[in-house]
Chains A and B, each alone.
Chain A
């Protein structure tokens, strides 16, 4: 489309020397953050920050902590 423009793609996912860092960050970053940080994705409105699948996986059946009357004296 623009023959005078040379496109250069530099992505850490393609670099063997970054593989260790990428593997570690794949574990600790959410999919959205990882894709922005390493996958050359854009960040902007409309992109959900917390991944719904991760939120669903985080839910457990632990019952609610029962508290007494918090409003005594109010």
Chain B
């Protein structure tokens, strides 16, 4: 049984016209947390796939959605121009090219870095990590910024790990990612907001933050994650 990949689409071909061909996907979500004053550059790659197969009745069906961090690593300190080149190399790597989506932390100096990415034709989604637990969208100079609460990002990561929606592969820095995840503590700040802080002596929880960005993108409309119809609920 040969599954063909066409871009991010997965197709199980069958010449029988009675068999309905289901087309699903395998995509790679890349989260990039860029270094600022104290932290380090880090990226995480999350595979997101549903694979077609034949059920007992000979109909094509889909496996359960699988999301897994298949690689996460730090990048050495370098100029933002060089980092943009490395990012372009990453996104055009044959292992993921044509079926990968990038999300970049565009907080602070990140918005200038994202402009460099634009000049290198690297398509990406911009996320500004803000305080609080909400999510909103703003436009600035024609660019869309997704303002997502850091607590929201990390809580979603926590839930996904807890429920088994997200797994973590056996890559070189997997132990470092575990240390970072275990370093997080939740506290209530003087304003009454929940604050989640973490970090090890090797990094400022950069791997974990980049993983949370990749997970966030896997459910975001900018990659077409919500295409479909469903009855509205909760309205009257």
Contacts and interface: CB of A to CB of B under 8 A. Distances in A.
Q: Say whether A associates with B.
A: yes
24 contacts: A28-B159, A28-B163, A29-B162, A30-B161, A44-B188, A48-B185, A49-B154, A49-B158, A49-B185, A49-B186, A49-B198, A50-B181, A50-B184, A58-B167, A59-B169, A62-B167, A62-B170, A63-B170, A65-B70, A65-B71, A65-B169, A65-B171, A70-B75, A70-B93
Interface string A44-60: 11111111101101111
Kindly state the interface size class of chain A when it binds its partner: 35 or more
A54 B168 contact: no
A63 B47 CA distance: 12
Contact of A29 (B159, B166, B167): B159
Given A29-B159, A65-B71, A70-B90, A49 B169 contact: no
Kindly state the interface size class of chain B when it binds its partner: 35 or more
A59 B170 contact: yes
B93 A64 contact: no
B159 to A, nearest CB: 5
Nearest to A74: B82
B20 interface: no
Interface string B204-226: 00000000000000000000000
A2 interface: no
Interface string A32-54: 11001000000111111111101
Interface in B54-109: 68, 70-71, 75, 78, 82, 85-86, 89-90, 93-96
A37 to B, nearest CB: 11
Nearest to A60: B167
A49 B71 contact: no
Given A30-B161, A62-B70, A65-B95, 18 more contacts: A29-B159, A31-B162, A32-B186, A36-B186, A43-B188, A45-B185, A47-B185, A50-B158, A50-B181, A59-B168, A60-B68, A60-B167, A62-B169, A64-B170, A65-B45, A70-B86, A72-B89, A74-B78
